Chain A
Amino acid sequence: MTPGWLLLFALAALVAAVGFGPRFPRVWLALTLAGTTAGLGAALAILAGGADWEWRSGLSLGGESLHLRLDGVSALFMVVLCVVGGAGAMYAREYWSDRDYPDSAPRGRAWWSGLLSSMGLVLTASNGLHFLIAWELFTICGYFLITLDRQHREVRAAGWLYLAASHAGTLCLFAFFALLAARTGSWDLGPMREDARLAPLFWLALFGFGIKAGFFPLHIWLPSAHANAPSHVSAIMSGVAIKMGLYGIVRFSGWLPLPAAAGWVVIGLGAVSALLGIAFALAQNDFKRLLAYCSVENMGVILIGVGAALLAVSHGDAAWGRLAMAGALLHVWNHAAFKSLLFFGAGAVLHATGTREMSRLGGLWRAMPWTAGLFALGAIAVSGLPPLNGFVSEWLVYLGLFDAVTGRGPSAWAAMPAAIMLAMAGAMAMASFAKAGAMIFLGAPRTQVVAHAHECGGWMRGPMLALAGLCGLIGLAPFLFWPAISRAVEGWHPAWASAEAPAPLATLGLAQVTLAVLFVAAAAWLWRKAHAGGLRRGPTWDCGYAMPTARMQYTSASFSGMASGWFRWILQPELRMRKPHGSFPGESLRLERIPETVLEHVIRPVSEVIMRVSASVRRLQHGRLQFYILYVVAGLIAMGMVTLWGGAQ
């Protein structure tokens, strides 16, 4: 079957799933899985070397004829959409079941399929108007999914913030597509690099898509939305929805002529997002907020690669630009795989304990061994450590940056700080996930909530295992994925088409496989050796202190205290402290809250000023007729004066 028919089938299945979703969960699951499989098939057919699929129809919608397209770039994002969409649908069957949520689960299924189909339309739409329609549908579906659990005040607040921020972005996109249509004379989208007048429009696209992509400082909506949404929704928001913003940036940076500063700005934004995103992540006590901020970091990593590629385009250095872009695009896949895995794991913990506070958890590995193991795997992957997939894509980005430095061109001045900041972000990601994994799963249970914890069932574990397998596969056999990535790079910049891998991916794959085998072998050997020599269990030694309690353990805030202290200037932690006093001290406490600095210290004060100004303007409207007549008379006189004096020339 051709990609076109597969896509049509996928769309039909997903639209039917929207209809069947509320009443028939089994039919819905079957349809959603069929739709995502078909979509995946179409995308893989393109990435495996098939020709781009393009379809112009006589049908018109809103006065514009339909024009759909699936090329390397959009197929790459389509893969992510289908994989996470299908896995999330399976996961939701147990996680957000009709039994636990009789009210919102049926709604959730319909919106889920709606979200998948609208994101599919965003990826295929090749007409500005239709792109905007699909974009808006996708935003709305996202809103209703985030607010599934809308009894809670903070969920509604998070949804509202998401909606407001998304529409600020959509506003820019309206301007962007309208100006594009006005300057080219058509709403049709496609490569238009020759028309230099279009270059400034790139900034509009960067801002409009950037809000959805959630890089620093446009990420304000992201942490609360991802933390408060149900976990399968967090997974698709983090794994796929923010990638739609990135898709926009990649797509239009490939199609539009670029302003001279584009590469510098994008790589700078990427480096700042990577470092500050992970600094915020490290300081969090809520594990879903930690994962959300980590998405900001990963978007930063991807943007570093994209920015380096943009620099390479404007300076004509194909070799390292291709490496950086390939790394960035592979990281799109990798981030979707490990972040969905981590959010699924977080959902399992939340399901079992009902809390997102790491300081109330601990010791969960005993009750949830599968979740603990899979979360640990995801943690290694997200920290970019070998032998998993996160390392491969970061390695490609690093290699691009190193080559840019050794090339000694002007781009080296961007590549050097970017590489150093990427290294720091990597080390802090490791710290964040050592902390998250340790606080949730290791040590002694800190509170009673852990006592009733239970392992998740097969419908939740299956998708997690599949995603973990994907993390392993990309890590161990990266060369298998190179043709697909190379196809996408070619779709982005046709001049960079190349068959052979410019980096020794096969050698890296060999090294990674060797490492993985040795890790397993050494762990098994040491395990047997430890048991052979007589293994005894005892209390934690704790330097001879005989009565350690769970409350003496290091907490999440104390673990990250030192490193997040270095970022105090941006984190602006709010401290509430009551110190113990006197010989018989009463209750004392120390509470620390990390605010969303950009939102609470920049956006909120500004909007308060705007609200105050608006409130004072509103006083003009008081309902007294005689004053309204006075306004009209005054207005008339003013206009009369303007025409009298202004029209004299």
Chain B
Amino acid sequence: MMLIPGFILRLAVWLLLAPLLPGIINKVKAWVAGRRGPPVFQLYYDLAKLWRKGVVLSELASPGFIAGPAVAWVALVMAAMLMPLGPAGSAFGFRGDVLLLIYLLALARFCTAWAAMETGSAFEGMGSAREVSYAVLAEAAMIAAMLSLSVQTGSVSLTMMLSPTAGASAALLAAGLFTVLLAENCRVPFDDPNTHLELTMIHEAMILDHSGPPLAAILHGASVKLLLFTLLLVQAVLPMGELSPLAGAGALAAGVLIVTAGVGLVESLLARLAFRHVPLLLTTAFLLCLFALLVAWKGGAK
């Protein structure tokens, strides 16, 4: 049974590498601003600290307040298991797994929003209302992007879809998916992970009342989600299928680094958008993915 060790190895890679990405983003931001910045491994230290801490629960919270982050974390990690890793393929792939991936992300969102509403705080209500509302446009963009990959490769399983030949739609898709990445992971210009004004936040506003291990699960899950979207973007754009395994792995790692640095640069150079403009940007992302779909359609049958 090569299956089980391979699965565990892959799981370990995901769980251990994911918290690196926010560290890299912060380093890039610090570098642009001319600061030293927190260490790259800061999130690891935070997670370890939170995991050892006790929990303060709101008097209003039901058991769902703790179950929510747990389910969301599992959903994100399992979505990550569906994601192929360049030459290594995916741990568990089947026809139509792309839809399971999208809906697992939606389940994670549902659980986070549900847990946020447990506390009866207006701030958390605000955060989850924004989260579920923006998801409407983000999911439309995701499905359009996936449709364009499907058209390009003639397949509906992620392993096939994410090894396209370099298509004419790649640039459009890259722009669209990068915007979705920023929105889904609550980065600037949609949300500011560093702000201290709860009124202006989405993700951070939802988790104000979480503490200890549940907060660690949420933060770790968020980093897994960021890595997931980064990998999705890189593999959707790079013609992985045409590279040798070693070159593929190298290209994948380089791509992830570039995208992460890109997120950091965007965060350093742009300001957060006013909330009333966020739907416009998301609609733009949707249109980019839609045009990618049309270009892929025109690009000729495979």
A residues adjacent to B (C-beta < 8 A): 362-363, 365-366, 372, 376, 380, 383-386, 391, 395, 398-399, 402-403, 405-406, 408, 412, 416, 419-420, 422-424, 426-428, 430-431, 433-435, 437-438, 441-444, 503-504, 507-508, 511, 514-515, 518-519, 522-523, 525-527, 529-531, 533-543, 548, 550, 552-554, 558-563, 566
Contacts and interface: CB of A to CB of B under 8 A. Distances in A.
B82 to A, nearest CB: 8
B160 to A, nearest CB: 10
Contacts of A385: 103, 106-107, 110
B96 A504 contact: yes
By CB atoms of chain A within 10 A, which of B74, B213, B214 has the most? B74
Contacts of B69: 526
A405 B135 contact: no
B59 A538 contact: yes
A372 B114 CA distance: 12
Contacts of B126: 554
B120 A515 contact: no
Q: Is the interface of A mostly helix, strand, loop or mixed?
A: helix
Contacts of B150: 402, 405-406
A362 B217 CA distance: 27
B163 interface: no
A403 B156 contact: yes
B129 A408 contact: no
B63 to A, nearest CB: 7
Given A419-B147, A527-B63, A529-B213, A558 B129 contact: yes
A391 B135 CA distance: 17
A431 B131 CA distance: 9
A341 B136 CA distance: 25
B85 to A, nearest CB: 18
Nearest to B54: A534
A384 B109 CA distance: 13
Interface in B130-158: 130, 132-133, 135-140, 142-144, 147, 150-151, 154-156
Interface in B79-133: 92, 94-96, 99-100, 102-104, 106-107, 109-110, 113-114, 117-126, 128-130, 132-133
By CB atoms of chain B within 10 A, which of A427, A437, A561 has the most? A427
B66 A554 contact: no
A503 B120 contact: no
A194 to B, nearest CB: 35
Interface residues of B, number: 78
B57 A508 contact: no
B241 interface: no
A386 B108 CA distance: 10
A338 to B, nearest CB: 14
A526 B70 contact: yes
A527 B67 contact: yes
20 contacts: A362-B120, A395-B100, A406-B155, A408-B151, A420-B290, A426-B106, A444-B120, A515-B75, A519-B74, A522-B74, A523-B70, A526-B214, A533-B53, A535-B55, A536-B54, A538-B59, A541-B121, A542-B119, A559-B128, A561-B129
B56 A540 contact: no
B54 A434 contact: no
10 A-B pairs with the lowest CB-CB distances in the bound complex, closest first: A554-B125, A443-B120, A438-B117, A431-B132, A423-B143, A534-B54, A523-B67, A526-B70, A522-B70, A563-B133
Contacts of B57: 530, 535-538
B213 A427 contact: no
A372 B213 CA distance: 25
B133 A386 contact: no
Contact of A442 (B106, B120, B129, B209): B120
A391 B100 CA distance: 8
B56 A527 contact: no
Contacts of B55: 530-531, 533-536
B300 to A, nearest CB: 10
B15 interface: no
Interface string B21-61: 00000000000000000000000000000001111111110
Given A519-B71, A535-B54, A543-B208, A507 B94 contact: yes
